[in-house]
Amino acid sequence: MAQTFKEIIQSEKPVLVDFFATWCGPCKMMTPILQELKSKMGDSISIIKIDVDKNQAAAQSLGVQGVPALFIFQKGEIKWQQAGVVSASVLQQILKPLTLTS
């Protein structure tokens, strides 16, 4: 059974949420960055991608204005957010301390 967005972000481990659109150029740049991040951090984090055109309610509830919009959740709380492309090394620096708390 698929988890809902609210269930996923309640996780003890950090969840990186990438709000994207298929027509967005910078969003396409995030895919290899997120793959690199996942290969570096493995199971210590979760990464989910949400298409804003298919999930407008989730995007609106978080006030997403532009894409890509990145959020890091832990136990249902927003720990960090930023719009635009962010490098894997920057994301890793933000996520590392969050993985040590679990």
- List, for residues 39-69, the tens digit of each pLDDT value: 999 999 999 999 999 999 989 999 999 999 9
Q: Binning pLDDT at 50, 70 and 90, where does residue 71 land?
A: very high
At the fourth CATH level, which superfamily is domain 16-99? Glutaredoxin (3.40.30.10)
> Catalytic pick from 9, 27, 64, 70?
27
pLDDT at 101 over 90: no
CA separation for the pair 10, 76 (Å, rounded):
4
Instruction: Spot the catalytic one: 8, 21, 24, 58.
Output: 24
For 13-24, what is the mean pLDDT?
Answer: 97
Domain boundaries, the chain: 16-99
- Told to judge if 27 belongs to the known catalytic residues of this protein, a careful annotator would answer yes
Q: What is the mean pLDDT of the chain?
A: 94
73 is catalytic: no
For residue 82, which of 97, 66, 71 has the smallest C-alpha distance?
A: 71
Residues 6+ apart with CB under 8 A from 2: none
Q: Count of residues for the chain?
A: 102
